[in-house]
Amino acid sequence: MRINIIGRGNVGSHLVEALQDKAEVTMVNPHAPQTLDTDADITLIAVSDAAIGEVLAQLPPVAGIVAHASGTTDMSVFDDFGINRDRVGVFYPMQTFTKGKELCYEKIPFFLEAKNKADLEELRELARKISPLVYDADSERRRALHIAAVMSCNFVNHLFAMSEQWLQENGLDFKIMLPLIEETVQKISEISPKQAQTGPAVRKDYETMQRHEQALAAHPEMLEIYRLMSKSIMG
């Protein structure tokens, strides 16, 4: 398989690495699309949602399937940008990619969509070279997944970052939280998160919550998050 990967950010660079021994990969700088392999079987656009249009506007004529890697962008983006082709699709890896951070590629779930069946099968074949977790998902389903990924990964990580900042200010090391965090995640592979909920809010322990709010008084942003999350847990 000959693959173009347009985009050298977190997603693009990891896809290149994941595929380098399994396909003939051409890395393409989105600002210099003329380096693209025009005979590629699949051209993947792995850039931020806002930049997809720009890439499409500059895309040289290319054989094969053109697919983007976005969770939230509709497959119809190709029509919107006048890419009048039948062979388009979506190749969305639902994972948190950080450049330089090694990743277990076989744990990336891929959600795929294509305008026609044969291309969907070809995208599946590509995804299976990386991971066994390969699913079909239309644009609406994929957007729902992406929103859940933002909640379960990006927002979760931000809470870790907030904890880290708070502990640092109190002379404590964030690493001390790791056993608790590991158990928090271990639990939800066995029981539903709703059942797994613990802490002052679900116990309606107003005394503890009030003390925490007092302690957070100098951090209006953390306090706002503390209040909103507690309110939401109390239901």
Q: Give residues 35-54 in contact with a copy of itself (rule: CB under 8 A).
A: 48-50
Which one of 1, 27, 83, 216 is in contact with a copy of itself (CB under 8 A)?
Answer: 216
* Stretch touching a copy of itself by CB under 8 A, among 18-26, 36-44, 71-79, 117-125: 71-79
Q: What is the dihedral angle through the alpha carbons of 97, 26, 116, 107, rounded to the nearest 10 degrees?
A: -30
Binding flags for a copy of itself, 112-151, as an x/- string (CB under 8 A): ---------------------x-x-----x-xxxxxxxxx
Which one of 35, 107, 128, 138 is in contact with a copy of itself (CB under 8 A)?
Answer: 107
* Crossing angle of the two packed helices 10-19 and 117-130, in degrees rounded to 10: 80
Q: Please, which residue, 1 or 156, has the CB nearer to a copy of itself?
A: 156
Residues 38, 62 contacting (CB under 8 angstroms): yes
Q: Smallest distance, Å, CB 77 to a copy of itself?
A: 11
Q: Which residue has the tokens 């600002």?
A: 31
Nearest to 67 by CA among 14, 139, 17: 139
Q: Which residue has the tokens 């249009």?
A: 53
Q: Under DSSP, is residue 114 helix (H, G, I), strand (E, B) or coil?
A: strand
Residues 16, 25 contacting (CB under 8 angstroms): yes
Handedness of CA 96, 99, 102, 108 (dihedral sign): positive
Q: Smallest distance, Å, CB 38 to a copy of itself?
A: 29
Residues 167, 215 contacting (CB under 8 angstroms): no
Q: Please, which residue, 11 or 36, has the CB nearer to a copy of itself?
A: 11
Residues 87, 59 contacting (CB under 8 angstroms): no
Which one of 2, 97, 115, 129 is in contact with a copy of itself (CB under 8 A)?
Answer: 97
Range 160-199, binding a copy of itself (CB under 8 A): 160-167, 170-172, 174, 176-185, 187-199
Residues 120, 95 contacting (CB under 8 angstroms): no
Which one of 40, 159, 217, 218 is in contact with a copy of itself (CB under 8 A)?
Answer: 159
Q: Smallest distance, Å, CB 194 to a copy of itself?
A: 5
Q: Please, which residue, 36 or 47, has the CB nearer to a copy of itself?
A: 47
